Copies of this chain bind each other. A is one copy, B any other.
Amino acid sequence: MTGNELLCGLYTDRYQLAMALAYWRCGRAEEEAVFDYFFRSAPFGGGYAVFAGLGPLVEALGHFRFGEADLAFLRKDGFPDEFLDYLRDFVFRGSVWAPPEGEIVFPYEPVLSVAGGLLEAQIIETLVLNLLNFQSLVATKASRCRRAAGRRVLSEFGLRRAQGSGGMWASRAACVGGCDNTSNLAAARAFGLEAAGTMAHSFIQSYDSELEAFRDFARIHGSSTVLLLDTYDTLRSGVPNAIQVAREMESRGERLKGVRLDSGDLAYLSRKVRAALDEAGLREVVILASNQVDEHVIRSLSEQDDRIDGFGIGTSLVTGVPDGALDGVYKLAETGGKPRLKASETIAKTTLPGHKTVYRMEDADGMAMADVVCLAEEPVPDRMVHPFEPHMRLGLANWRARPLRGEVVRGGRPAGQVPSAAEASVRARRALDRIPPEHLRFDNPHTYKVGLSVRLRDLRDTLLADKRKDAAS
C-alpha cells in the first residue's frame, strides 16, 4: 500500500462535481481546457521549492475512478443517475506537463499544466493540489535541512507526529528532498526507501538497570546497535554504561555502531560524549541526535562546534512547520480555444492566460540565470519582462534555453517511466548545484528571476482590460 489506494474519484472537493455536473449538462465536458499549477511564495521564507509528488500523482491519475460505492454515495447526495452513468465510465485522458520530480522551482511559474476536457481537467484539481502542495513542502524542508547538515546523516523520524497517513508521502518527500532514510517501515517498503531506527526510552525503562537493557539490546543487534543515552542521566549513567557495553562487544568481536542523544543541550552533550568515547578508544562510534531538530537548529549546533554525526528529524519536517502548507493553486488558463484569466485587485494575483511553457535560461556552466514563461506556440523569447513590475526587463540572448517541463502524462497514461523516489532524490541534489547560492540561503534569499515573454504579458493585460471594462459597464 502506498497511500494511492485512497485516491478514488471521491477524493475531491464536492464543488468539483457540482461544476462537473454543470459542464456535462451544458455539453461542455469535452471542451478543451488548460489548467496551471503554481505557487506564489516559496515556503519557509526561502527562495525556492523542491518539486515533489509527481510520481504519486502520475500513478493516481491512472487509477482515478468512481466505484459503485462512490456512485451510490453521490446518488444519495442528489446527483442525477444519468450523470452517475457518465462518471461510472470516467477515465482521465488528458495530458500533463511538468518538470522531472526533484527539480528546483520558483514562485509564479506554471510548474505543472494539465490539458484535457474541461470536466476531467477540473475534477482532478483537488488530487493535484493535495499531492503536490504537501510533498513539495516537505521535500523543500528536507532540502533545507540537508543544506544545513552538509554530509551528515539525516533520518526522517516523523510518523508519530505526521498528519495521519499523509506520513506515507511525508517520508517519501523527505527522502526526495534530502534525507538519507526514514523510520517509517511502510513508506520504506512502498517507495523503496532505506529504513532506519534505534531504540526508545521505554526499552531501557523496561529493565531494572540501564546497563542490563544496553547489554540485551547489543546481544540481539550486534554491530548495528545504537544506544539511547538519556533515559536517566546522559553523562553520569548513559555514557559509562554505553562504554562498558561497547567494550564487552569488542571482546566478542563486535563493535558498537552509535549512541543517540534525545534531550538536553545537544551541542554541549555531543562534545562531552565525543570526548568520553574518544578517551575510551571508541572513535568510530557515531553520535546521533534528535529532539525538535530543524534546519535552524542544525545550523546553530554547527556554529557551536557540535560533534553530532547524524540527525533524526521528526515533527518540523513531516508537518512542514511553521508554514504547514505550500500555497499552490490550480487555475484555468484556457478553454474553448480562448485564453482565460482570473482578475484580482493586484496584478500579482491575476493569473496568466493561455497554454504556456517555461524555459530555464542557463549560462555556459549550466547555472540557472532566469526562468521565462511564454505561450507554448512562441519561439524561445530573447527577452523577458517582470510579471508585475512593468519597468523591469531582462535580455536572454546570451543564455541557453532548456525547457523546464516535459510531457509526463499523455492521453491519461504515463509518457515515460514514472519517477522513483530514489531518482527524484538524485535529481534534487544535482538540480540544487545548478542554482546560484544566493537564491538558496535561509535569510533574505535573492529573488530568482521569473519573467514573462512580451506576448504573454500583452495577452494578460489585454484580457484584464477587457474584464475591467465589462465590470464597469
Give A residues with C-beta under 8 Å from B. Answer: 1, 3, 5-8, 10-19, 21-23, 25-26, 28, 31, 33, 35, 69-70, 73-74, 77-78, 118, 122, 125-126, 129-131, 133-135, 157, 159-170, 183-186, 188-189, 195-203, 205-206, 208-210, 216-217, 219-221, 224, 231-233, 236-237, 263-264, 315-316, 318-327, 330-332, 335-336, 338, 340-345, 349, 467-468, 470-472
Q: Is there contact, CB below 8 Å, between A164 and B345?
A: no
Q: Is there contact, CB below 8 Å, between B22 and A203?
A: yes
Q: List 28 A-B contacts (CB under 8 A).
A: A5-B6, A8-B186, A11-B165, A13-B183, A13-B197, A14-B188, A17-B185, A28-B206, A73-B189, A126-B160, A130-B161, A130-B164, A131-B164, A133-B161, A134-B164, A160-B330, A163-B163, A164-B170, A202-B332, A210-B470, A232-B467, A264-B345, A315-B327, A319-B325, A321-B323, A321-B325, A322-B324, A324-B324
Closest residue of chain B to A467 (Cβ to Cβ) is B232
Q: Is there contact, CB below 8 Å, between A22 and B168?
A: no
Q: Is there contact, CB below 8 Å, between B184 and A21?
A: no
| Chain B residues, Cβ within 8 Å of A157 | 13
| Chain B residues, Cβ within 8 Å of A327 | 161, 315
Instruction: Give Cα A307 to B42, complex, Å.
Output: 34
Partner of A470, one of B160, B232, B315: B232
Q: Is there contact, CB below 8 Å, between A344 and B237?
A: no
Partner of A216, one of B26, B78, B221: B26
Q: How many copies does the complex hold?
A: 2
Instruction: Give Cα A6 to B163, complex, Å.
Output: 13
A15-B198, A22-B220 known; A129 vs B10 contact (CB < 8 Å): no
Instruction: Give Cα A447 to B354, complex, Å.
Output: 56
| Chain B residues, Cβ within 8 Å of A202 | 19, 35, 122, 125, 331-332, 342
| Chain B residues, Cβ within 8 Å of A126 | 159-160
| Chain B residues, Cβ within 8 Å of A189 | 10, 69-70, 73
Q: Is there contact, CB below 8 Å, between B18 and A197?
A: yes
Instruction: Give Cα A188 to B201, complex, Å.
Output: 39
Instruction: Give Cα A251 to B208, complex, Å.
Output: 82
A164-B165, A164-B169 known; A19 vs B203 contact (CB < 8 Å): yes
Closest residue of chain B to A185 (Cβ to Cβ) is B10
Instruction: Give Cα A349 to B201, complex, Å.
Output: 13
With A6-B186, A15-B197 given, can you name 17 additional A-B contacts, CB distance below 8 Å?
A: A3-B6, A11-B185, A12-B185, A13-B159, A16-B200, A22-B203, A22-B216, A23-B206, A73-B188, A73-B189, A130-B165, A166-B166, A205-B335, A205-B341, A232-B467, A233-B468, A233-B471
Q: Is there contact, CB below 8 Å, between B331 and A15?
A: no
| Chain B residues, Cβ within 8 Å of A321 | 321-325
Partner of A14, one of B22, B28, B197: B197
A22-B203, A183-B15, A232-B467 known; A161 vs B129 contact (CB < 8 Å): yes
Q: Is there contact, CB below 8 Å, between B183 and A343?
A: no
| Chain B residues, Cβ within 8 Å of A318 | 163
Q: Is there contact, CB below 8 Å, between A471 and B12?
A: no
Q: Is there contact, CB below 8 Å, between B21 and A220?
A: yes
Q: In whole Å, how far is A124's beta carbon from the nearest beta carbon of chain B? A: 11
Q: Is there contact, CB below 8 Å, between B186 and A160?
A: no
| Chain B residues, Cβ within 8 Å of A70 | 185, 189
Q: Is there contact, CB below 8 Å, between B161 and A164?
A: no
| Chain B residues, Cβ within 8 Å of A170 | 163-164
Instruction: Give Cα A322 to B18, complex, Å.
Output: 32
| Chain B residues, Cβ within 8 Å of A14 | 183-185, 188, 195-197
